Structure 1
Amino acid sequence: MEVCGSVVTNSKYELFRLKCIYCTIESELKDWELFIIHVRTAHFCEEEDSGLSEIKHDPNVENSAVEASDPAIAFGPDDLFEVIENTNTEDQWLQADDNEILYLEDGTTWSEPTADFSEYMPDSSEAPTGTKTDMDESSQNQIPMNTDDDDVDCSDFYMSEDDLVPRKRAGRPPKRTRPGQVFKFKVSFTRSNPRVLHLIHAYKEHPCLWNPSDAHYKDEPAQNMAYESIINRMDDKANVLLTVEELKKTLEQLHVQYTLALETKQKGKLVGLGARYFAKCEYLSVAPSITPKETEEDDDLIVIKLNFKEENLVTSSFIETYANYPGLYNPELSEFGSVEARAHAYKKMAKEFQPVVKANETDVYIAVNKLRRWLYDAMRRLKSKELIQKCSKQEVQYLRMCSFLPPKGSETTVLYCDYCEKRFHGDYNLRVHMFKAHQAGDLPYLCSLCPRRFDRQVDMDRHKLRSHFERKLRCQYCEKSFAVVTDLKVHTLIHTGERPHVCDICGKTFRLKLLLDHHVNGVHLNIRPYSCNMCNKTFRKKFELANHIKGHLNIRDKKCEYCDASFYDHSSLSRHRRIHRS
């Protein structure tokens, strides 16, 4: 059976619509036949050796039935449309109520798609509508353990398979946050994803990227054209928009999955979906092998270094300390839903953990999230039989220590704002909202080396690299060094003279997209959002207003190193320096 769409519904399961997994097209349930025709004509990816035939639609007969001989479409709505009741954090594609806004992990909101399906909509009698399938109750059967050591005794590990891995239909697209969103995906041979088939077919057409015997192998112009061709196909056919760097990482994932499938096949255990995807990637047998890599993390930025591969004091102590704070993981407790109680618990946990590692509440929060991610990934690997690395004996031991944690999906940190009743997943998301929208509290991410706070972890990590660590990246044209790769790239543009960002109105070029935006807003649109409270002047940039206010207050903090002159802003000081250079 081929996955071609998903069912979107409101939180009360009253309204149901079909949603194409490739684009924004939607349809009523009764028009499921034309919906499938749309998917198979607009996004069809030919399956080799699958026995699938083309859809035959008689233009003279309105609403002609689709051939029942095609196994991909020989079913009715009752067989296809399965409504999942489990609305955990991975299932937030469900539509919110009219009076209820759903805020997702990245802070964006889910809104109803507005795509037009009129060209596929008939004026015919209704077909049978979809039915809602109840979830089976979680069983307490033992998980078939997938470990490196067959002698590991897991009889006392009580978590059930169904509890730890919530049921959902294979091939569901990533959660959606806005109409027309272009999906990204991760290549996997263990889950059905039609986008992977599009990638496999597109990659096969360009042997210069994977075949060492090809005449244009490692030929940079030919490879750039191949990357562009694959990007265009994934955009047009699979609604996946990738940059060149993202495409390279995605193709590397494809090679890794092929390598894992090859190892499984050599053991005689490759079956099902993995065998099907492996057969389609047979052309990669001549490509250089790529082994799976561990998740790369900057050890300098990690304060609490958890290692689940081998026994160590930090990991064991952290799990034991975390178990003493049920308000952070037990939804039945009143303090579980209180953002103040959770923040206080993180602070207490950091203080209690200081004899082992000197950390603050943000470091504890990040370590908790890493522990939870590892736990649910390890449980998935325990029950997996294909293409996933096995759990080591030490990992199973740490899994036993984490048995106090609830199964994935049974606990969702949904918190409500005390000021506007908006709901958020994760206490740090709510704290950012309260600070920005209601000026309450502080930003959540606290630097462990200074008092500065941030609204995102990536901003905090970038601040640490720039302000508290050695600058290891040196410019090839001068003696300057940088801590962040993007900073080095932007600096290099000064030497190369590249100005890639061009104004569409006047043709002026800029090194940075930010400078282009300031130019368009300030010069062409005359948007000057920053106004002075002491006079009537307005400014395009916030720092221009700050320097202007210094003039009112006679604050001259920019001093010349050659004389006693001082200025309000850096640009005035730069103009003054020319006097000494001439």
Structure 2
Amino acid sequence: KYREIMPNADKSDVKKKIATLRSNYQREVKRLQTSKLKEPALYYYDAISFLCKNDREYDSQDRVPDLNEMEDVSMEADNIESTKIINENESDTDCTILTAEKKFIIEFISLYRTLPALWDLNNESYYDRKIKNKYYEVMRTKYREIMPNANILDVKKKIATLRSNYQRELKRLRTSKLDEPTLYYFDAMNFLRNNNSECDDQDPIEDVNETEAALVDDSSDEINDSEDDSVSFVHQTDILLYTDEDTQDPIEKKFILELIELYRTLPALWKKKDKQYHDRELKRKQYEILLTKYREMYPNAEEKDVRSKINSLRTNYYTELKRVGTNGSSNRYYFDALSFLRTNRTLEKVQKVTMERKRNTIKFTPPKSKLNAAQCVILADMYKGFPSLWDETDIAFRFNNRRQETLDALHEEFNNRCGQNLTQNELRKEIARLRKICSHEKKQRLLCKQENIIYKPTCVYYEHLAFLEVNVVPFICPICEKIELSLDKHKIHLASHDGSAPFKCPICERGFQASTNFTVHLRRHVQDYTYSCEICNKQLPTTTDLKAHMRCHTGEKPFICEICGKSYRNSSQFSTHMHCHDDKPQFKCDHCDKAFYKKIVREEHIKCVHQKVRDKICPICNKAFKSTKHLRQHKEIHAAEKKYVCRICGKRFAQYAGLSGHVKSHGTTLTELTTKNTDMP
């Protein structure tokens, strides 16, 4: 049955699952008996209630050591009591069933031992997230030998379980007369013995309930409510794991809020500046007041229970505060009710600890340089004088050929000025190094800005690099604070907020959605073409334009109209022609009722007819014309060779109109003459 949802399950998995269901049911029964709650929160409570009459037999049921107890229990309830019931500290008789699994656990622990960055606080890589994540990937690969679908979170849970069991066994050996441990992997984990005092600082998911218990045990006389404890916990906890304070029961929610409100009225328990904060006798009396309230829901509760509950609420509050920040909001129902704790110095310490941890995670070692600090300053100042290499608002910035020319000039000038003999590749590396330094300083500055801390550059000559901040990562959106690692992606994201085009031409203000189209457009403006025709040497901006131009020489017209049979060299002419068949001109004149199929024709119409502008000047005779077409026809008069030839008498004419009039003297027309020549074999 279990394999319907867990295809790879075996008998031990089934036994684990049944044991989990049974233990959760027993806890729910106990909770209902010791509180005033009437409705169970466990969804399968009624289905498993047949065990109610079997209470005595329950304690004698066979248990299978749960090698993955946290994976199952975390889905349905906290894991403390389940750990006690389904423990890995079982007798040798029960453990023989899982000899192979025991062997795997020992191998798993041995692998963990070889990765000290995961457990040794004195290791240099302990606070390096990237290295730790790589090591967790190694652990996950091993763990998938028995749990094929396991993820890194499952690995962290498993490690936390093994560590918790080891610590409990170690404590039991110290407080009892037993000499031999019963935990079969106790010796394998002895490498943690010297790390015992710092065991709570480990990176795997911390057991919040276990932390609460430890806090209670360590403060039987007086719970230490100082801010340092809260800060310490926030510093330790990297992944938030909520406890039973996140209940969905409305009655219990209301009770917790009332308990917090009562706690707020007793400042000697939480406000360090209160005069009576260090008065232990008064604080005990105030805990008795809280206990009276707590017994309304839990009649059999003791003082240590209410202390544990308050400490748990405080711990979760500070953890959540660290996660959302000082100005953030939380969906935890009692988060706002505990906001009075923000008045403590704890908040400042939380921010300081968080800031220090963030700053420490940004470890940066600049690449080695062949230049000294003074030469780096000179290079930075010279680099600033060539904006086409770094300023995206400069038109030449998007042209590879222009940037290469600029780099050649910078290379020669820098070597001459500093007396260096750097190759161009070495100069590129030096520039890349300066950009990396600037990027690192930008990250640090933004981090300090978020935490309201004064920014102090770590690079001695950073003021000479500050101009590069506009062109180095990270790029942060001022609206939603999203971070992009590419300038073009950043511009596209900014445009998504207002629906504008991300790339706008600084000359004509035309917008583009793609940076490649924008670059081609800029090339047309400055006539910086990188392709040329091999026949006529005409310069063209793209390979597409070059292919279209070559059809002028080959006479190829691949775009054919299926309606009239006309053919065209390029798709734009063909598309314009197809609109003629629809008889729906798209471009209408703003001054008259005329409409045109081409935008450029409409613009010429407005200029020539309505504005009467003659801005096309002949460079030879200075005669002015309304359009480029008329100027081109006029220039044919000044041509040294008359290109229009009569096919009957061979006479030549400068313009088409002259040839057309001459042919009529032969008693025919150009159209008839062309048709006859076409029909000849």
Per the TM superposition, whether the score is higher than 0.5 is no
TM-score (norm 2): 0.28
Q: Which entry has the higher C-alpha Rg, 1 or 2?
A: 2
